[in-house]
Amino acid sequence: MALHLVTGGAGFIGSHVTERLLSEGHDVRVVDDFSTGRQENLEFAPPASDPWGRLEVVPGDITDEATARRAVSGVEIVLHQAAIPSVPRSVSDPLASHEANATGTLRLLLAAREAGVRRFVYASSSSVYGDSPTLPKREAMPSEPLSPYAISKLSAELYARAFTRIYGLATVGLRYFNVFGPRQDPASEYAAVVPNFIMAIARGRRPTIYGDGTQTRDFTYVSNAVDANLAAARCGDAAVGGTYNVACGERVSLLELVARINALFGAALEPILAAPRPGDVKHSLADISLAAESLDYRPAIGLDEGLARTAAWFRKKL
């Protein structure tokens, strides 16, 4: 089995990628500075009957050259999830977002090129599309980033594309659309809406929506994002150098999202409407046909099933 590196592997999406790889019998190295990732996210229970790979954890920051080189040593496939993933946080501290997301990716690309890594899969974001009214979002559309976070992710995409064209490093990018699921942190000041809404409603509190609630998102259960990562790691050479939408291809308003979560808890809590946040886009919807064609990506878990699984996980945390 090939050695896989998962950067940010103790984080929300990264830990799910790590768990899936281990369950398939792969050896996995995780590098994480634990600024947002948590050790408890790596406390998996190996299946009794399935093969289970070995896990190595390297504490450290990929913006550090020595850490990046150590992380990729002997690695065949990189799955780069490390980032500061918040638009509001990037507005408050744009330099930190740039360092983690753009500089960190460049540092890792350099180390991967020198180490002879075979495939470099990296996480980008739907935020690179900006607030264009054109829906659905297709990969060939112009990028119009509204926030420092979106700019940092677009910078990482451009670096990866250049490393494929100039150095022959096989990169594949994934533009995530509002990924949610177990292990997502609802306590952060910058928490994503799904865990935020679930925990508020589970505790009998009215959830807060920034804006009028009619804004729409293409919510994507985390196992779909894991599927996309593994598909990108294994796809043919024709897909290399591309960037692909990872979503369900359906959109729902935040008001509807609140209603669906209320239904899961037998509640009827009306949201509190607050002022919109700078950098947020109004509407988001993905065209996933290119990912289906190039990566054979097809979302297996829809919104309602994903919400039910996520709510069940958070109930255990109450």
**For residue 280, what pLDDT is reported?**
80
**For residue 221, what pLDDT is reported?**
98
If 0-12 CB within 10 Å is exposed, 13-18 middle and 19+ buried, where does residue 222 land?
buried
Residue 48 pLDDT class (50, 70, 90 cuts): low
Residues with a known catalytic role: 149
**For residue 187, what pLDDT is reported?**
74
**For residue 56, what pLDDT is reported?**
95
283-316 tens-digit pLDDT: 999 999 999 999 999 999 999 999 999 999 999 8
238-285 tens-digit pLDDT: 999 999 999 999 999 999 999 999 999 999 999 999 999 887 889 999
Query: 4-179+221-249+286-301 maps to which CATH number?
Result: 3.40.50.720
Tell me what percent of the residues of the chain surpass a pLDDT of 70.
97
Backbone φ and ψ for 244, nearest 5 degrees, come out as: -130, 140
Q: What residues does each domain of the chain span?
A: 4-179+221-249+286-301
51-74 tens-digit pLDDT: 788 999 999 999 999 999 999 999
**For residue 191, what pLDDT is reported?**
65
pLDDT over 70 (residue 49)? no
**For residue 38, what pLDDT is reported?**
93
Distance CA(83)–CA(122), nearest Å, equals 10
- Beta-strand pair 252-253/216-217: antiparallel
The count of other CB atoms within 10 Å of the CB of residue 312 is 11
Tokens of 69: 């080189």
- Name the average pLDDT for the chain: 94
Instruction: Specify the pTM.
Output: 0.95
